[in-house]
Structures are given as C-alpha cells and as structure tokens.
Chains A and B, each alone.
Chain A
Amino acid sequence: TQLLEQSPQFLSIQEGENLTVYCNSSSVFSSLQWYRQEPGEGPVLLVTVVTGGEVKKLKRLTFQFGDARKDSSLHITAAQPGDTGLYLCAGELRNNNDMRFGAGTRLTVKP
C-alpha cells in the first residue's frame, strides 16, 4: 500500500478538455510537490504547496493543498498535447530527506 494514493492512474483526453488529478493520504505532510516527467527524462518540479488550503496557479494548472495537509489536487484547464506526461505527487513527511512519491498519473492529450 502506498502512502500517497494518486488517481486516476491513466487518463486520455481530447485537446481542450479539463481534468483533475488527485493525491490522497491519511498522513499529514509538511509540504507537497507536483512533478511532471516526460519519457526518457527526469521529473521536473512544477510546484510546492506548504500551507493547508493553499492554492497555486501556474498558467492553466491549478494546484490545491487540502486544509488538513493530507491531500492535494492538480487541475488542468483546456489541456493541450504538450501537457502529455507522467504527473507525480510527492509528500514531504518531516523534512526533505523523507519524501514519498505517488504512483503517478499518465496523461495523454490527443490533438
């Protein structure tokens, strides 16, 4: 059983659609990060959320940290083929030496 449950595992949508990826846990995190990984590359950090209830926006991406700091969501508006990739959430339990990754959401956006 993973500490961070990420859903959905796979998502295939048409260009222009909206989508939400969820990251849930029963544990409280000091911070949570979202990463995006393209094939053959290392993951790239998209955002870090620290405060319960925090909402951050990055162009068409909206990230939310749950009030209790146990869950997070990533919402993409008007998805584009360039958004295709593996999205990973990662929770920091106590400090940066104790990071746990979700299983990832593989997003495919078709033109």
Chain B
Amino acid sequence: GAVVSQHPSRVICKSGTSVKIECRSLDFQATTMFWYRQFPKQSLMLMATSNEGSKATYEQGVEKDKFLINHASLTLSTLTVTSAHPEDSSFYICSASQGTHYGYTFGSGTRLTVV
C-alpha cells in the first residue's frame, strides 16, 4: 500500500528559529501533497496544497511567508515554519493521494513545540 513518510516526528525549537518538516511519498509519485495543522482534540485544518514544480496554494488566513512550502520533486514536499513563535506550536500533518477515489495517505505527523 501507499506510504507517506514524515520527518521529524517531534521537534522542539527556540522562538525565532526556523524548522523544516519533510514529507515523502515512498512508493508512489505525488504531484500534489497537502499540509494540515491540527489543534488538540480538533479536526484537520488544511493549510496549503503543494504542487510539484509550481507554487503552493494557501488557504485563506495562512501566511505564505510564514509557512514556506517547496515541492521540488514528485516524492518530496517540505514545509518550513519560519521565525517560529510559541503560537506556531501544533501538530502538522502531510498527505498525498495516488489518484481520484484512492483517498489520502497521511504522514505520521510532526509535533512542533516552540519555546
């Protein structure tokens, strides 16, 4: 089955630093990947759609200069949280799909804590 690997699983960083999160599709090519943020006991909030070879599409209210997305290949998308602040602390999850009606395969998530 399809596998999406997300790394790191946990990261603690100091306020003002940047953190990069990687999302890889291991056994399929993903022209589109999705980045979500999830607050405790809540559902997934779509942040942006990452398109291979082009600019990401951000959801309303998500700062594109704050959350940099790069999708340089068909198997890798990265999310960089720039100048992180404590309010950026959250659970970030990526997903990819093999195609219509396949559903999404999610990464295992990254727990970001900004201190």
A-side interface residues toward B, CB under 8 Å? 30-31, 33, 35, 40-45, 48, 50, 86, 88, 90, 92, 95-97, 99, 101-104, 106
- Nearest-CB distance from B89 to chain A (Å)? 14
The answer on a CB contact under 8 Å between B104 and A90 is yes
The answer on a CB contact under 8 Å between B41 and A106 is yes
CA distance A42 to B108 in the complex (A): 4
- Nearest-CB distance from A44 to chain B (Å)? 7
CA distance A88 to B106 in the complex (A): 13
List residues of chain A with CB within 8 A of the CB of B54.
none
Closest to B46 in A: A101
For this complex, 20 residue pairs linking A to B, each with C-beta atoms less than 8 Å apart, are A31-B101, A33-B104, A35-B104, A40-B109, A42-B106, A42-B108, A42-B109, A43-B44, A43-B104, A45-B103, A45-B104, A45-B105, A88-B43, A95-B100, A96-B103, A97-B32, A97-B97, A101-B46, A102-B43, A104-B43
Partner of B44, one of A44, A50, A88, A96: A88
The reply to whether the CB of B95 lies closer than 8 angstroms to some CB of chain A is yes
